Structure 1
Amino acid sequence: MKLATLRLNGTTSAAVVDTDAKTATVIDGQPDVGSLLAQSDWRAIAESAAGQTVSLDDADFAPVVPRPGKIFCVGLNYATHITEMGRDLPEHPTLFLKVAEALTGPYDDVVVPQYAAAELDWEAELAVIIGATAYQVSEAQAADHIAGYSVINDYTMRDYQYRSLQWDQGKNFEKTSGFGPWLDTNYELGSVIETRLDGEVMQHATTDDLVFKPAALVDYISHIVTLNPGDVIITGTTGGVGHARKPARYIGDGQTVEVTIEGLGAVRNRTIVK
């Protein structure tokens, strides 16, 4: 099952993406996927959706979960990326936080302030979306607490990121992380994850290259704090980021970044520097 948040008539609504992925059925009474997941019987509510049918050809997608209560990001979690950054494989996950205001729709333009655009980088990432409250959950139990998976581009302002030892300031610029297009409850690790900059392949790997896989991350984080329905774990990026290239390459004004995970879909954001 695929779930999306669509912008409709000046508001938003959760919707079930139909099997052909060309139309979606609105879930009446649910303003977004986050509010849907807050219902203990969210699966049954989605499966019985009987609202308006919407064509996805010209649909306006919001971030799949517009306002997660918590967004945990994992740094240095693909073996290929760890190697290119000259580091050893970690013993524990590196965690930092992203705020909800940093999210934008999967096809929205990303507007970057001129002062933050000097070292603008791409990061293709698999997002894990929580579907049931998790506190001190074991890795073996974690699957029962995951609603599904989605795609995100963790746009990164490298000059801001490395101003201090804390990465958050380079990861949280307003409406710069395309998130969606939908949550897929049936995704399995192992498919291709890829970034293209104006059509040129920049990152290419498979999601099973993760050092700490989704179940392990739910285990680790839930032993720190309760994970609630709609919370998001962004699992890290693979090799091929612009900052690690020699010479370095960055996103320029007018360039489009497309992040695709085979079987999950793609986010595609045009960059506007102003």
Structure 2
Amino acid sequence: MRIVTVQRGEDQLVAIEAPQGVIPLADLPGDLPATALDVVRGGPDALQRIRDALDATDTAPLAPGSFRLLAPIPRPAKNIVCVGKNYVEHAREFQGSGFDSSSGGQEVPDLPIIFTKAPTSVVGPGADVIASHDADGTLDYEGELGVVIGTGGRGITKDRAYDHVFGYTVINDVTARQAQSAHKQWFLGKSCDTFCPMGPAIVTADEAGAVTDLHLTTKVNGELRQDAVVRDLIFDIPTIIETISRAITLEPGDIIATGTPVGVALGFTPPKYLRAGDEVEVEISGIGVLRNRIV
């Protein structure tokens, strides 16, 4: 199932992206979740009630142009948990860039590097990313697979980790590189308003299939910059979930950004930082395209 959130007039509505179009749950019969977060928290029971409602009605989808697509969870309940330097070649390009103040000279990390982005940084597909929030002109992109937690828990083991995954989405971990380096931590440089484009949908784990086979690309103004498959992660999804939940209770609707591959702007000579007017397109096979303009 593909779960989206749309703006229709003054209303934010959770909807299903079906082959025939986008169908808000509010237009279906029955007692259905009011938000995407409610869908996630409702788990398999909520998904079954949605399927039954879809089967029981011939509700027409929204007309094209009558709605705007938002981030699937427009305002996460908690910070987005992120993993840094989680593809080998990206770890090397970042270490060699002079901007990495986190690793003490270590090129490839021995353990997952965990940081977070503020919920207020989240925007949806088609939303503008505001370049002026990076006063230094070092704005960068990072295409990533996002994992949405379904069943919460603490002390989740690797062998049970996928049982706790509700689904997957696409994230662009936009970063102000100079701020990231100057503050000796990553939160401020990555949490500016508009610096976490997300979407277009949450695809449930059963529909996503073998997650390690998913293919990620990032293009800037049509130029291919990043190209990788999820199996190339240094620390795979079960390891990430085990590591985080060892210390922190994961809850339904928590979002984990799993890391970005080689090809970010700072890795080029000279760096290809984002400028106003650029368009960034992150695509993950089976999930969709996340497209945002820099203004």
Q: For 1:120, which of 132, 135, 139 is the aligned residue?
A: 139
* Alignment: residue pair count: 270
1:15 aligns with 2:7: no
Higher normalized helix content (fraction of residues): 2
- Show CA shifts across 1:39-75 (max 9, x none): 2422223323448543474441111112222310110
Cα 1:53/1:110, change in 2 over 3 Å: farther
1:85 is paired with a residue whose SS is helix
The structure that has the greater radius of gyration is 2
Match of 1:68 in 2: 76
The answer to whether the 8 Å contact 1:192/1:261 transfers is yes
Structure 1 partner of 2:161: 142
Q: What amino acid is the match of 2:164?
A: H
Q: What is the Cα-based RMSD across aligned positions, in Å?
A: 1.8
* One-letter amino acid of the structure 2 residue matched with residue 37 of structure 1: V
- 2:41 aligned partner: 38
Secondary structure of 1:142's match? Answer: helix
Alignment TM-score, normalising by the size of structure 2: 0.86
Partner of 1:80: 89
- Conservation of the 8 A alpha-carbon contact between 2:131 and 2:275: no
Q: Which residue of 2 aligns with 1:235?
A: 258
8 Å contact from structure 1 (residues 26, 49) kept in 2? no
Letter in 2 for 1:128: V
The aligned counterpart of 2:98 is none
Mapped to 2, the partners of 1:92 and 1:175 lie a distance apart of: 29
Unaligned runs of 5+ in 2: 27-31, 96-105
In the superposition, relative to structure 1, how do residues 260 and 57 fare at CA in structure 2: closer, same or farther (>3 Å)?
A: farther
Q: Is the 8 A contact 1:7 1:61 kept in 2?
A: yes
Give me the whole-angstrom Cα distance separating, in 1, the residues matched to 2:289 and 2:36: 18
Partners of 2:52 and 2:198 lie apart in 1 by: 25
Post-superposition offset of 1:80: 1.9
Shift of 1:117: 5.7
Distance 1:264 1:114 in 2: 29
User: Matched residues in 2 for 1:134 and 1:115: separation?
Assistant: 36
* 1:133-158 deviation line (CA, Å, top 9, x unaligned): 12111111111110000001111111
Sort the Cα spacing of 1:9 and 1:124 in 2 relative to 1 into closer, same or farther, 3 A: same
The 1:214–1:114 alpha-carbon spacing in structure 2 relative to 1, beyond 3 Å, is: closer
Secondary structure of 1:72 counterpart: strand
Query: Secondary structure at 1:116's aligned position in 2?
Result: coil
Distance (whole Å) between structure 2 residues aligned to residue 204 and residue 11 of structure 1 = 37
Q: Shift of the alpha carbon at 1:115?
A: 5.0
Instruction: Supply the AA of the counterpart residue of 2:17.
Output: V
Alignment of 1:196-235 (within 5 A): 196-235=219-258
Q: Secondary structure at the match of 2:228?
A: strand
Alignment partners' CA distance in 1, 2:195 and 2:167: 22
Partner of 1:181: 200
- Give the structure 2 partner of residue 152 of structure 1: 171
User: Any stretches of 5+ residues in structure 1 without a counterpart?
Assistant: none
> CA offsets per residue over residues 1-34 of structure 1, 9 Å max, x none?
111111122121111111x2x5022223534211
Contact 1:32 1:64 in 2 (8 A): no
SS in 1 for 2:200: strand
Deviation at 1:113, TM superposition (A): 2.1
Counterpart secondary structure, 2:251? coil
Letter in 2 for 1:154: D
- The 3-state SS of whatever aligns with 1:226 is coil
Question: Larger deviation: 135-144 or 182-191?
Answer: 182-191
- 8 Å Cα contact 2:219/2:280 also seen in 1: yes
Q: CA deviation at 1:245?
A: 1.3
Q: Which residue of the partner structure matches residue 54 of structure 1?
A: 61
Q: What amino acid is aligned across from residue 50 of structure 2 in structure 1?
A: A
- Contact kept? 2:151, 2:166, Cα under 8 Å: yes
Partner SS for 2:130 = strand
Percent identity for Structure 1 against Structure 2: 32
Distance change (3 Å), C-alpha of 1:219 and 1:8: same
In structure 2, C-alpha distance between the alignment counterparts of 1:7 and 1:116, rounded to whole Å: 31
